[in-house]
Amino acid sequence: MTADVVILTIREGRLAVLLVQRGEEPFRGRWALPGGFVGPSEDLEEAAWRVLARETGLRPKVAHLEQLRTYGAPGRDPRTRVVSVAHLGLVADLPAPVGGRGTTSARFWAVEDLEAEVAPWLAFDHEAILADGVERARAKLEYTPLATTFVPPTFTLSELRHVYEAVWGTPVHAANFRRKVLSIEGFVLPVGRTASPGPEGARQPDLYQAGPARLLHPALLRPRPEQARVMGEPETGEL
């Protein structure tokens, strides 16, 4: 029984996942999600925190971690039966990680690049686990304040909006985003307009910090892939 972790962050404006390069068989040389065995008297989430801390040095309150799903198909590890309890971790941008024992290197990969053809094959069934983790993150941004775990303790609404755009992979209307976020009680709290991080000749934005809300009312829904049919327009092909 192992605990694997999908550690997501925003790097250079893009959603990125932490992968380690395996130094041992099976799948030697291939990229994989960081993970480790669960101790005999260790809680599942405890094991996941241990893996996350080993790779990033982060601890609770600085990061978010939740159980994702358990993967136990008989053939997923070619040598013996291994059931993996996958977790999802969300962290702010941070220095390059070091990797743990049995790995030769560790780095963040843009999720977008992994979906491309040139992407490295991931070990085991980690491709499916990653996909599930990304989808969970996308869904959770809608109805929880988890986007704030991706930004510094103090942030602008533009930075927060960039998080949504990076995770969802779609542009977000700035003016309406602002109104919605501010109308959600307890999502963000104003802290004045102290700093001016933008050296590009523009207005200084207001600064905010995360509020006490654990759930977003009303939700901040992502733009759905519009499948509305315009009357009079004939269907253009696919079912």
Partner DNA sequence: GCAAAAGTGTTCTATGTACACCCATGT
Partner DNA sequence: ACATGGGTGTACATAGAACACTTTTGC
**Beta carbon of residue 137, minimum distance to DNA (angstroms, whole number):** 19
- Asked, as a colleague might, if the bond just before 218 is cis with ω within 30 of 0, I would say yes
**Beta carbon of residue 161, minimum distance to DNA (angstroms, whole number):** 8
Restricting to residues 74-133, which ones interact with DNA according to CB under 7 A? Answer: none
Q: Would you state the structure tokens that stand for residue 54, as one six-digit string? A: 């080993």
Q: Is 219 helix (H, G, I), strand (E, B) or coil?
A: coil
Sign of CA dihedral 165, 171, 174, 180: negative
CA 195 remoteness from chain centre: 27
The one among 169, 186, 205, 211 contacting DNA by CB under 7 A = 205
176 binds DNA (CB under 7 A): yes
Pick between residue 38 and residue 210 the one whose CB is nearest to a second copy. 38
85 binds a second copy (CB under 8 A): yes
Pick between residue 41 and residue 176 the one whose CB is nearest to a second copy. 41
180 binds DNA (CB under 7 A): yes
**Beta carbon of residue 224, minimum distance to a second copy (angstroms, whole number):** 8
Give, in degrees to the nearest 5, the angle at Cα 80 between 76 and 82: 55
Pick between residue 14 and residue 22 the one whose CB is nearest to DNA. 14
Restricting to residues 172-231, which ones interact with a second copy according to CB under 8 A? Answer: 217, 224, 227
Q: What is the dihedral of CA 207, 213, 215, 219, to 10 degrees?
A: -40
The one among 59, 81, 173, 229 contacting DNA by CB under 7 A = 173
Are residues 17 and 111 in contact, defined by beta-carbon separation less than 8 angstroms? yes
31: which strand partners? Answer: 21, 122
Pick between residue 120 and residue 211 the one whose CB is nearest to a second copy. 211
Residue listed under structure tokens 């024992």: 101
67 binds a second copy (CB under 8 A): yes
Amino acid at 205: P
**Close Cβ partners of 178 (under 8 Å, ≥ 6 residues apart):** 157, 161
185: which strand partners? Answer: none
**Beta carbon of residue 221, minimum distance to a second copy (angstroms, whole number):** 10
From the list 17-25, 37-45, 192-200, 204-212, the region that binds a second copy by CB under 8 A is 37-45
Spatial distance between the Cα atoms of 214 and 210, rounded to a whole number of angstroms: 10
Q: Which residues bind DNA (CB under 7 A)?
A: 156-158, 173-176, 178-180, 193, 196, 198-206, 218-219, 221, 223
Q: Which residues bind a second copy (CB under 8 A)?
A: 1, 38, 40-44, 67, 69-70, 72-74, 81, 83, 85, 217, 224, 227
